[in-house]
Every structure is written in structure tokens, then in C-alpha cells.
Structure 1
């Protein structure tokens, strides 16, 4: 039995420890982190997945960004504890968070990741959207939460100022 709930300030240490465990030590040096500097997370979409005894097994975060004057969500990071990988928890968390995002009225989601993995959720390469360097353009992916949400959206991804 798993419980998915919004991340709270008291979850910060556990979530950061999970990200440290799952990602390379230099994760915060990535260009996507510059888009997050000084910008509050989208609180209702940052979720944790706990097991039956309350241990965080997975977490996902979202941040607001701007692209050519349009709002978008920047998904990431998403992580699953190594002992629970392959059990579908990341997919469960992904689908839940995307449903919540659509219910909150968000129209588009952006991420930097592996197309073969994220295409199963509907993400596709965004040729007209540019992440700050040094991001591989093949890894810039988007998902429409509303029909036509990415039509005409192009340019450099920028921080959403609070």
C-alpha cells in the first residue's frame, strides 16, 4: 500500500536525501537548476510517495518557467529509491502529478530526459524550445495537458519570477 501526498516542509530532508542517493553529486550544477534558483516550487504538484510505514520511496517536483511569454511547468527531478525501482512507482507518481497539474489548469509540461522513457507518458521532443546550455536538444521534451498547448510556443526557457 502506497500513499501519495503533497510534499511538506518537514519532508525536505528526506526528499533531498533521496535525490542525493539517486543522482550524481553535481546534480545541482545542471542548467535546469538555474531555472529553479529563487523560484518557489509549485507546491500542490510536488509529491512524495510513501510506503506503509511512512518511508519516502519516490518524489517528484515541479517548477514554473516561462517560454516566449507562455507559462509552463518544468518537471523534475523525479526519483525512486533504488530498492523500489522497477516496481512502477515512478510511473504512478508521474501519472498522479500530471493529472493534478491538468486539474489545476496547467496547459504544458517541460522536462529534460530520455525520450524512450518519457514518451510512454506522451512527452515528445520540442524542437522550438531551448533549454539553457549545456542541454542536449534531443532531451528537451514536452507534454500537452490541453490540446494545442505547445502550438506557437518557442524560444528560450526562462525562470518564472516570483
Structure 2
């Protein structure tokens, strides 16, 4: 018996992005390493922002997004925002809820300036990979490499 193709949108849905990502996905160990690295930069991030004013976008999220842009060869920040908007994997990696609104593509350039000043880096190095390598201690690198080998 044929079922009708009804396309009515649900008002509420309960879905975890964590459950949608396969356990053996290559980004899982990368996410662990990146979050470990970004935790070590927490104090420096706190110094970059004022305690008053409107809330900002967490620099950790922006750096994770830029890392995805590098890993998946996304051609521009506009295209990256589009990918994050509809890609559950990208939202999960960054730490965005499925219904959380996205920031504007121009946020990347504004925050790249802020990162380069805070970390005393040339602008081209205000990306997640060099920042993480600068912050890691040797024992953290070894631990991270072991995590990577497990995947």
C-alpha cells in the first residue's frame, strides 16, 4: 500500500547533533584536540574582551569555524557561513545548537584583527592552527597525537 508524501514541518523536534555524527568520524579526535588546545588559551581570550557591553561570539567558535574552512577547503567566509547553516557536522564541531542563529561573515575579519593584536601575531597567523601550536606544551602535544592515532 502506498503512503502519501506529506511534507508538513514539525513545530518541535528533539535531535542531538552528537548522536547524528558517527562514532568513528575523523573529526571526533580533532575536536578533542582543538578543545584541549583552546582551553589552554582561555585566559588570553578573557583578556581580549571587556566585562561590560554586549555579548560577543566566543573566539573558540570562530577559530573552530576557520579550522573547518581549512580542513574542508571552503573557498570563502561567506561560503563557510552557508555550510555551517545547513551542515549538522559543522554545527556540532563548532558547538552550535541546531536552531542557534549564525553570525555574519564579516565577524571573521573583525575578530582576526583582534586575535592578531592579542597574540602579537602577523595577521596571516591569526588562525587556529598556529595559535594552538603556540599554546601547546610538549606533554599536551604527545597526548593529542595519541588521541589522533586512536581514530
Query: Fold match, TM over 0.5?
Result: no
Superposition TM-score, scaled by structure 2 size: 0.30
Superposition TM-score, scaled by structure 1 size: 0.29
Structure 1 or 2: more helix by fraction: 2
Structure 1 or 2: more strand by fraction: 1
